[in-house]
């Protein structure tokens, strides 16, 4: 039987935020493997979160974030079950991390359920037009794959964390992890992203041409 040291427990606790006894139990169950113990605790936490799926998350925060010297701004509403959790460090850090991600990635929707059917139909039409004759037999599978990639590009919860893409964690996973850690349901309800000059048609004026026109009309 693998000896579980205090250092191993400390390391796992720092990685997951779980209690010391939970960390020791996870390491014991996983034969001392830190990586396996992390997954063990995550699965245990997710089961707890699933039990809370029917809970009402009506507390929370409206979080604001300004980026790039005031050129990009993000506001989001994230909900939880109690005001105590809403004022906690873990909840606030999660809101900040997601807001920073939104500033970088510029998603259009929170989840795939928000994407209008008309938009989905239009994207599928484009995907179909790109199919080669040899792909017709696998058209449904190919279109489904392309649609998944589309969701990943425009839906916040589907996107991979911009801060650590190598970890292959989606924003939905980040929320689930914190939810499991604090023991409350967390819902990212809505967000808005603003960028200076966005939507304004910018006209580049040739200064030399402008001077020449002014001189001709004088």
Q: How confident is the model at residue 213 (pLDDT cuts 50, 70, 90)?
A: low
The enclosing domain of 66 has a CATH number of 3.30.479.20
What's residue 203's pLDDT? 58
Q: Count up the domains in the chain and report the number.
A: 2
Last residue of a domain, one of 51, 67, 88: 51
What's residue 180's pLDDT? 83
- Per-residue tokens: 93: 């850090």
Same domain, 11 and 108: no
Query: Quick check: 48 pLDDT over 90?
Result: no
Range of weakest confidence among 54-63, 107-116, 181-190: 54-63
Q: How confident is the model at residue 53 (pLDDT cuts 50, 70, 90)?
A: low
What's residue 199's pLDDT? 79
How remote is the C-alpha of 107 from its chain's centroid?
Answer: 9
What's residue 175's pLDDT? 92
The enclosing domain of 47 has a CATH number of 1.10.8.10
Q: What is the pLDDT of residues 146-180, one digit of tens each?
A: 999 999 999 999 999 988 766 678 999 899 889 88
Q: Determine the average pLDDT of the residues in 50-69.
A: 78
Q: Report how far residue 27's alpha carbon sits from residue 33's, in angstroms, rounded to the nearest whole number.
A: 6
Same domain, 69 and 47: no
Query: Quick check: 74 pLDDT over 60?
Result: yes
Same domain, 84 and 43: no
Please list the helix, strand and coil fractions of the chain in percent, rounded to the nearest 5, in that order: 60, 15, 25
Same domain, 32 and 110: no
Q: Report how far residue 56's alpha carbon sits from residue 59's, in angstroms, rounded to the nearest whole number.
A: 9
Same domain, 17 and 65: no
- Looking up tokens 């995550």, which residue turns up? 42
User: DSSP labels for 128-175?
Assistant: HHT--GGGGGGHHHHHHHHHHHHHHHHBGGGSBPGGGGGGT-BHHHHH
Q: How confident is the model at residue 207 (pLDDT cuts 50, 70, 90)?
A: low
Distances (CA, A) of 131 to 117, 122, 138, 145: 21, 15, 10, 13
Q: Edge to edge, what strands does the sheet with 187-195 contain?
A: 59-67, 72-80, 187-195
User: pLDDT > 90: what percent of the chain?
Assistant: 45
Query: Quick check: 106 pLDDT over 60?
Result: yes
Same domain, 77 and 94: yes
Same domain, 111 and 190: yes
More confident residue, 195 or 6: 195
Could you tell me the residue range of the domain that residue 163 belongs to? 59-115+155-195
What's residue 11's pLDDT? 84
């Amino acid at each position: 039987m693998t000896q579980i040291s205090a250092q191993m427990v400390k390391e796992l606790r720092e990685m997951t935020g779980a209690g010391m006894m939970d960390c020791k139990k996870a390491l014991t169950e996983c034969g001392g493997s830190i990586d396996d113990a992390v997954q063990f605790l995550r699965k245990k936490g997710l089961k707890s979160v699933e039990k809370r799926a029917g809970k009402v998350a009506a507390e929370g925060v409206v979080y604001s974030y300004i980026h790039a010297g005031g050129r990009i701004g993000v506001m989001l509403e994230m909900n939880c079950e109690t005001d105590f959790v809403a004022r906690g460090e873990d909840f606030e850090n999660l809101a900040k991390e997601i807001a920073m991600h939104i500033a970088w990635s510029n998603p259009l929707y929170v989840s795939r359920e928000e994407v209008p059917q008309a938009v989905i139909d239009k994207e599928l039409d484009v995907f179909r037009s790109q199919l080669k004759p040899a792909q017709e037999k696998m058209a449904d599978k190919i279109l489904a794959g392309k649609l998944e990639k589309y969701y990943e590009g425009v839906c916040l919860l589907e996107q991979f964390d911009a801060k650590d893409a190598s970890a292959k964690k989606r924003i939905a996973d980040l929320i689930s992890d914190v939810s499991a850690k604090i023991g409350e349901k967390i819902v990212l309800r809505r967000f808005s992203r603003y960028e200076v000059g966005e939507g304004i048609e910018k006209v580049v004026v040739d200064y030399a041409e402008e001077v020449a026109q002014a001189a001709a009309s004088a």
